[in-house]
Amino acid sequence: MKNKKIIKKICIFTGSRAEYGLLKPLMDEIKDNESFQLQIVASGMHLSPEFGLTFHEIEKDGYTIDEKIEMLLSSDSATGICKSVGVGIISYADALQRLKPDIVIVLGDRYEAFAFSVACYINRISIAHLYGGETTEGAFDEGFRHSITKMASIHFTSTEQYRKRVIQLGEHPDTVFNVGALGIDNIKKMALLSKEELEKILKIKFKSKNYLVTFHPETLAKEKSILYFKNLLETLEKQDRDVLIIFTKANADTEGRAINNLIDDYVSRHDNAVSFTSMGQLLYLSTMKYMDAVIGNSSSGIIEAPSFKIATINIGNRQKGRIKPESVIDCDPTVEAMSKAINLLHTEEFQKKLKNVENPYGNGEASKQIMQILKRADLYNIKKSFYDIDIVSQKIQYL
User: pLDDT tens for residues 114-138?
Assistant: 999 999 999 999 999 999 999 887 6
CA gap 315, 3 in Å, rounded: 57
User: Does the residue 3 lie in any domain?
Assistant: no
Instruction: Indicate the SS3 state at residue 17.
Output: helix
Handedness of CA 230, 232, 236, 238 (dihedral sign): positive
CA gap 22, 19 in Å, rounded: 5
In the 3-class helix/strand/coil scheme, how is 254-282 assigned residue by residue?
CCHHHHHHHHHHHHHHCCCEEEECCCHHH
Note the pLDDT of residue 3: 52
CA gap 210, 346 in Å, rounded: 12
CA gap 78, 262 in Å, rounded: 21
Strand-by-strand arrangement of the 243-248 sheet: 273-276, 243-248, 209-214, 293-296, 311-315, 328-331
Confidence of residue 376 (pLDDT cuts 50, 70, 90): confident
State whether 324 and 374 are in the same domain. Answer: no
What single DSSP character describes residue 140? T
Alpha helices of the chain — where are they, by DSSP H? 17-31, 55-60, 78-99, 111-122, 141-151, 160-168, 182-189, 195-202, 225-237, 256-269, 280-289, 300-303, 335-345, 348-354, 366-374
Q: Which amino acid is at 304?
A: E
State whether 66 and 93 are in the same domain. Answer: yes
Rg of the chain over all Cα atoms, to the nearest angstrom? 21
State whether 172 and 227 are in the same domain. Answer: no
User: Does the residue 217 lie in any domain?
Assistant: yes
User: Does the residue 212 lie in any domain?
Assistant: yes
State whether 75 and 217 are in the same domain. Answer: no
- Going by C-alpha positions, the residue among 196, 273, 256 that lies closest to residue 51 is 256
State whether 240 and 154 are in the same domain. Answer: no
State whether 145 and 244 are in the same domain. Answer: no
Look at the chain and report how many structural domains it folds into.
2
CA gap 352, 234 in Å, rounded: 28
State whether 200 and 162 are in the same domain. Answer: no
Note the pLDDT of residue 4: 56
User: Does the residue 123 lie in any domain?
Assistant: yes
Q: Which residues of 267-288 are buried (b: 16+ CB within 10 A; e: fewer)?
A: beeeebbebbbbbbbbbbbbbb
User: Does the residue 360 lie in any domain?
Assistant: no
Contact 84, 72 (CB under 8 A): yes
223 or 55: which leads in pLDDT: 55
User: Does the residue 216 lie in any domain?
Assistant: yes
Task: Give the model confidence (pLDDT) of 137-195 as tens digits.
Answer: 767 788 999 999 999 999 999 999 999 999 999 999 999 999 999 999 999 989 999 99
Which CATH number goes with the domain that contains 52?
3.40.50.2000
User: Does the residue 2 lie in any domain?
Assistant: no
State whether 335 and 375 are in the same domain. Answer: no
State whether 282 and 148 are in the same domain. Answer: no
State whether 241 and 343 are in the same domain. Answer: yes
Choice among 79-83, 238-242, 311-315 with the minimum mean pLDDT: 238-242
Domain of residue 304: give its range.
193-354
State whether 266 and 147 are in the same domain. Answer: no
State whether 159 and 68 are in the same domain. Answer: yes
Confidence of residue 219 (pLDDT cuts 50, 70, 90): low
Mean pLDDT of the chain: 91
Note the pLDDT of residue 254: 75
User: Does the residue 186 lie in any domain?
Assistant: no
